[in-house]
Amino acid sequence: MPISASFLDVKFLLLLILLGVSRWIWPSRHFVLFGALGSAAVVGFTAPKTFVVITVISLGFLFPLHRLACWARERHTPRWFSDNVIPVGIGLLVSILVLTKAHRHFTLPFLGGDRISAELISAVGFSYFIFRAINFLYIQSLLRLKESNPFGLLFYALFPATLTSGPIQKYQDFRLQLASPAPLTGPLLASVGYRLTRGYFRKVVVAFVLNEWVTRLLAIEAPTAWVSASIVLLLYLYFYFDFAGYSDIAIAVGLLLGIKVPENFRKPFTATTISEFWRNWHISLVDWFRDHVFIPLGGMRGTRFHAGSIALLIMVLCGLWHGFTWSFLIWGTWHGIALWVEAVSGTKPIPPALRHGPRYWWRIAWTNTRVALACILFLPDTQAILRTLGGFARFN
């Protein structure tokens, strides 16, 4: 059986553990080289096509573009040139992401053929890599970084702990840890063991059981309102335990490799507004859109209407990022409208001191109900979505 770049593949996990433990014998002063070569070896062995795609873009495009931007600043080239090197690079990355997303779901005449389709789809975690690549370029416009060699970038791009599904780590946070990686101490190994255990329990046990229940309920040809409500609730819980479990494993593996990976969840079920919910669910993705879309478009400086409109745009983009389908477009619009209404009306989360009583629990229920209902749009086909929605009209 071939090995795959998945935490559910025992061989892949053992390779990562072996790589982490080998830090004991590798000189700490060469940690960046260790991380780059080790990540390249693990990803190259488990997902060779992914390794080739990410390495070519990193070494053949990102690093040369970084050096070009540094050269333009130091040589005082015309401002129109130095100011547009990074934006043009980011634009190309966005174009690549859009083309790969569109080609996976729609037919593009100039990208036809099964071979090209298979090659593009085979790149594990490509969307997350593009987001990291955009962050690497974007930070150049804020900080005058100058990398003397590409090993730090290659380590960041191929970092196996977050390769497939994040969390999306900022390049500057990652870079700061390269000089002082987390040491392999007893407390660190205990933390790694705890996060691995919790992560696998959530993902392999709890999420598996929830998925089985959802599958059985979806098989009912004429669901009632109670069946549809059960599907919504179980699907909502499944998404949480599956992704939160994965994030736990990614954080544990990251610590083992010497890098602290950002948290992706922070008690989202206790949110009292949709905006608070998205600050606590898939945190790294929301932070990415805030830093790269919301703030550059002036969301922090404009009116409530302006901020709400940008939030609506971001959620539509987030939906399309999941896939170019009508269901994901509706999902993004659903959440975007909720954020727009909260922004325009000035709705705020309930302060910690007032988090008790009927009003608090009603706000929690109202927030989670709206988020959970949108989970229906992640069902595998349109018939399943319509059948589940239709069930809410049957009470017998």
The answer to whether 301 and 201 have CB atoms below 8 angstroms apart is: no
Kindly state the average pLDDT of the residues 164-174. 93
Least trusted range by pLDDT, from 36-50, 75-89, 148-162, 207-221: 75-89
Mean pLDDT of the chain: 90
pLDDT band of 25, cuts 50, 70, 90: confident
Kindly state the average pLDDT of the residues 257-274. 95
Whether residue 106 is predicted with pLDDT greater than 70 in this model: the reply is no
pLDDT band of 111, cuts 50, 70, 90: very low
Whether residue 115 is predicted with pLDDT greater than 90 in this model: the reply is no
Provide the token pair at 30. 């060469």
* Per-residue pLDDT, 120: 44
Q: How far lies 159's CA from each of 1, 38, 64, in Å?
A: 24, 9, 20
pLDDT band of 117, cuts 50, 70, 90: very low
Kindly state the average pLDDT of the residues 313-326. 91
Least trusted range by pLDDT, from 77-86, 90-99, 231-240: 77-86
Active site residue 322: yes
Kindly state the average pLDDT of the residues 369-396. 92
Whether residue 125 is predicted with pLDDT greater than 90 in this model: the reply is no
Q: For the whole model, what pTM was predicted?
A: 0.91
pLDDT band of 123, cuts 50, 70, 90: low
Region class of 170: left (phi > 0), else alpha (psi between -120 and 50), else beta: beta
pLDDT band of 241, cuts 50, 70, 90: very high
Provide the token pair at 252. 């544990």
Shortest CA distance to 262 belongs to which of 278, 285, 243, 239? 285
* Per-residue pLDDT, 103: 67
* Per-residue pLDDT, 278: 96
* Per-residue pLDDT, 333: 97
Element (H or E) spanning 193, and its range? helix 186-200
Whether residue 116 is predicted with pLDDT greater than 50 in this model: the reply is no
Region class of 320: left (phi > 0), else alpha (psi between -120 and 50), else beta: alpha
Least trusted range by pLDDT, from 57-61, 104-108, 292-296: 104-108
pLDDT band of 108, cuts 50, 70, 90: very low
**For 191-210, what is each residue's pLDDT tens digit?**
999 999 999 999 999 999 99
Residue with tokens 């975007």: 336
Kindly state the average pLDDT of the residues 361-382. 95
Q: Which residue is catalytic, options 282, 322, 335, 356? A: 322
Residue with tokens 């939906």: 319
Whether residue 142 is predicted with pLDDT greater than 60 in this model: the reply is yes
* Per-residue pLDDT, 200: 96
The proportion of the chain whose per-residue pLDDT surpasses 70, expressed as a percent, equals: 93
Whether residue 118 is predicted with pLDDT greater than 60 in this model: the reply is no
Report the distance separating Cα 264 and Cα 284, nearest Å. Answer: 6
* Residue 160 preceded by cis peptide, ω within 30: no
Kindly state the average pLDDT of the residues 76-88. 86
